[in-house]
Amino acid sequence: MKLSAEISQWSDALPKLFQQAFSDSEGEDEGKVIGALVSDLLSNTPQDDLRAAIAHDGPKVLGCILFSSLRFERDTRQVFLMSPVAVRTDHQKSGIGQRLIGFGLDGLRNANVDYVVTYGDPAYYGKSGFLPISEDFAPSPMPLSHPHGWLGQALTEAGAAPFKGPSHCVEAFNKPELW
């Protein structure tokens, strides 16, 4: 297995990977929603606002994480949202997801990103250093249906302070039903 941050090489395969992984775990309707989200992210997000961590074995994509910028109106720090995250169903529970998270966070650190947020299972993401955060610390761009899943991790010392102002996600995530 190899890890890559190169999106363009895998752009055709990624929506299919996410749709299948989410269909298998959350149902076909959720798979379609997340597959469409990934297509939208890849097609309509400015290159500087989107990063990836991709696991592959030759031509086969095994897993992927997308990171998109999250801006706070009165804050100059660089923040990214880690979402969505998927590993092929037949390769889950083999450590690929945690390796992807580590690889992706290392890439963001190297790019001087200050902070990363995600929205998911605290037990899973806690394994890689994500901690629960409040909306007072980092306001979400949309109302959260599961506030306990709002998690964050500082990548620099500057990332440890609360964020100023409301946040704004990339257009693909600007849908209340995703939150």
pLDDT tens by residue, 146-161: 999 999 999 999 888 9
- Residue 84 CB partners (closer than 8 Å, separation 6+): 18, 22, 34, 37, 38, 65, 66
pLDDT tens by residue, 125-153: 999 999 999 999 999 999 999 999 999 99
The helix (run of H) or strand (run of E) holding residue 127 is: none
pTM for the predicted model, two decimal places: 0.95
pLDDT tens by residue, 15-28: 999 999 999 999 99
DSSP 168: E
pLDDT tens by residue, 45-74: 999 999 999 999 999 999 999 999 999 999
pLDDT tens by residue, 78-97: 999 999 999 999 988 889 99
Domains detected in the chain? 2-178 (3.40.630.30)
Q: How many helices (H) and strands (E) does the chain have?
A: 4, 8
**CA–CA dist 83, 91 (Å, integer):** 19
